Structure 1
Amino acid sequence: MKRMSFAEYGGPDVLHLADVEEPHAGPGRIRIAVRAAGVNPVDWRIREGQFSGTHPIALPAGVGQDAAGVVDEVGEGVHGIEIGDHVFGEGSATYAEFAVLSAWARMPPGLTFEEAAGYPSVMETALRIIRQVGVEPGQTLLVSGASGGVGSAVLQVARDRGIAVIGTAGPANQDYLRSLGALATAYGEGWAARVRQLGPVDAALDLAGSGVIRELVELTGDPQKVVSIADLGAPDFGVRFSGVAGSMAEALAQTVDLISRGRLHIPVEKSYPLAEAAAAHIDSRAGHTRGRRVVVI
């Protein structure tokens, strides 16, 4: 089968389309014919070797962890899923024609494969950090870098729970944030003062890693009410850095529920053919995403 691979750590140029042996579903796993794979920052961070010291991987390696597709193998001990079912979930080396998933759910009716592939990791992350920051219904959550995949998910989960949101993003994404129910303001010089004009903040999330931790602590008044998923220096300010995933199965179940109730939709900003995965990584690394990017097989 065809799989996007890399044999050494480095820039997007180390990615190449390789012919490799097909993976197969072991116990407790399923295999899918991949139709689309989600593009996440962790994909290019791994490719660059950012985690090689703490989580080394065997090279050459595949890329990707989120995918949607058609079940074509069911491992021993798996029940409630059949060959031919349309599913989305989490696995490994998902930028490929076939991939094995370790967590999955049936796709809600009306969802395309491209849309479905964009949900797993961003929803798990959004649900986890909302829980960790301890924001409650009736309170106000500040989201720095709110227009990307995780931000889009956070805004809609918060709205469903009765949590007010102030979101920061670039000028081009202000109307997008408002469409998701947030009070919006632009980042850049004077952003913290603009947030204060919108009202008091009970908790804050840093999704972009753009050096705003000090201001987020000042706005909330408590480093324990700030969580970052993008700034490794956050602990220097007493702020929690959240990088360990929680339950993907639970996140997928909540995703299906929200979509089925019409309370969640994350748009796909751009799709890329498998052979152009390097371009997807370049665009993802540049930021300024509205919604999700996916690789289509």
Structure 2
Amino acid sequence: MRAMAYETYGGTEVLRETRLPLPKVAPGEVLVKVRCAGVNPVDWKIMAGGLDSLMDVVHPVVPSWDVSGTVERLGIDVPEFAVGDEVMAYARKDYVHGGTCAEYVSVPVRALAAKPASLNWAQAAGLPLAGLTAYQLLTRLGTTADDTVLVHGAAGGVGSLGVQLARAQGARVIGTASPRNHDRLRGFGCEPVTYGDGLTERVRALAPDGVTVVADFVGGVLDTTLAVLAEGGRHASIADHTVLGAGGQWMWVRPDSEDLSTLGRLADQGRLTVDVAAMFPLSELAAAFTLSQEGHASGKIVIEV
């Protein structure tokens, strides 16, 4: 099969288009024919060796964990799916090796869900990791309609989904973003504020009694979080482990078929959409990673396989 892969840690220069054998399909797995793969910052951070202390890596590595596609073949004991089913997944396994920037990928059933009919292939590939990250963080914080939620990084791939999910739960949402993204956030039912100097005062102007939930999707904002958090409020971060020393939670997204199915249902109910900022062919994965590294994409970056 055709794939993008790398043999050593490094920058985008280590990526090569190559041919690899079809993945083996273990019991409890399916082989997915890839339509699109989603790009996330963790993909190029792994490539640079940033997670070497956390996860075993087997080279050559095919990057990325997000996928949309069709079931090509079933492993042993997979009654949940049939050949030809349209699916999506956050296809992370217990070690780094066979990712989704390839024509085929094997996916554990525990990570797989039906593709929402309301999303196209690119949107479905952009949903799993970012959507699960936002959903699991907000769920763990017990977010309800009684909450006022502050989302740091509200215009990003994870943040924009977090805004929509908090609104779907009935919460009031304030989101930090650059002014060019404020109209987009208002369309999601969010009250946007500009990040940077004076952020605490701007949030307090909207929520004088403080916010009850803070979802940090960018890092480096703990001081602001604590300054605007109401007494008894809850906060969590996906990007700053120091929140653990300040009564917060530090989270890492987990593959979860049930959670992903919930996101799919919300999409089909018209309560969740995925903005795709850019699409690249498989051979231009390096350019997609470069765009992700620049950190200015307003939405998801997707590879079309």
Name the residue aligned to 2:216: 206
Q: Residue 157 of structure 1 is aligned with which of 141, 165, 185? A: 165
**Kindly tell me: are residues 89 and 194 of structure 1, through their superposed partners in 2, closer, same or farther at Cα, counting changes over 3 Å?**
same
Name the residue aligned to 1:136: 144
**Kindly tell me: are residues 58 and 247 of structure 1, through their superposed partners in 2, closer, same or farther at Cα, counting changes over 3 Å?**
closer
Letter in 2 for 1:201: V
Q: Residue 148 of structure 1 is aligned with which of 153, 156, 180? A: 156
Kindly indicate whether residue 208 of structure 2 is the aligned counterpart of residue 178 of structure 1.
Answer: no
Unaligned runs of 5+ in 1: none
Unaligned runs of 5+ in 2: 92-97
Q: Residue 250 of structure 1 is aligned with which of 252, 255, 258? A: 258
Distance (whole Å) between structure 2 residues aligned to residue 128 and residue 108 of structure 1: 19
Distance (whole Å) between structure 2 residues aligned to residue 222 and residue 296 of structure 1: 46
Deviates more, 1:246-255 or 1:29-38: 246-255
Name the residue aligned to 1:55: 55
Distance (whole Å) between structure 2 residues aligned to residue 127 and residue 278 of structure 1: 29
Q: SS of the counterpart of 2:107?
A: strand
Q: Residue 296 of structure 1 is aligned with which of 295, 298, 304? A: 304
Distance (whole Å) between structure 1 residues aligned to residue 216 and residue 135 of structure 2: 14
**Kindly tell me: are residues 222 and 40 of structure 1, through their superposed partners in 2, closer, same or farther at Cα, counting changes over 3 Å?**
farther
Distance (whole Å) between structure 1 residues aligned to residue 292 and residue 244 of structure 2: 25
Distance (whole Å) between structure 1 residues aligned to residue 136 and residue 119 of structure 2: 24
TM-score when normalising by structure 2: 0.92
Name the residue aligned to 1:239: 248
**Deviation, structure 1 residue 80:** 3.4
**Deviation, structure 1 residue 238:** 4.2
**Deviation, structure 1 residue 54:** 2.3
**Deviation, structure 1 residue 246:** 3.3
Q: SS of the counterpart of 1:257?
A: helix
Q: SS of the counterpart of 2:265?
A: helix
Name the residue aligned to 2:94: none
**Deviation, structure 1 residue 173:** 0.6
Letter in 1 for 2:227: E
**Kindly tell me: are residues 93 and 263 of structure 1, through their superposed partners in 2, closer, same or farther at Cα, counting changes over 3 Å?**
same
TM-score when normalising by structure 1: 0.94
The aligned length equals 295
Q: RMSD across aligned C-alpha pairs, in angstroms?
A: 1.7
Distance (whole Å) between structure 1 residues aligned to residue 39 and residue 283 of structure 2: 14
Name the residue aligned to 1:276: 284
**Deviation, structure 1 residue 237:** 3.7
Letter in 2 for 1:124: L
Distance (whole Å) between structure 1 residues aligned to residue 146 and residue 53 of structure 2: 42
Alpha-carbon contact 2:90-2:255 (below 8 Å) kept: no
**Deviation, structure 1 residue 66:** 0.9
**Deviation, structure 1 residue 131:** 1.9
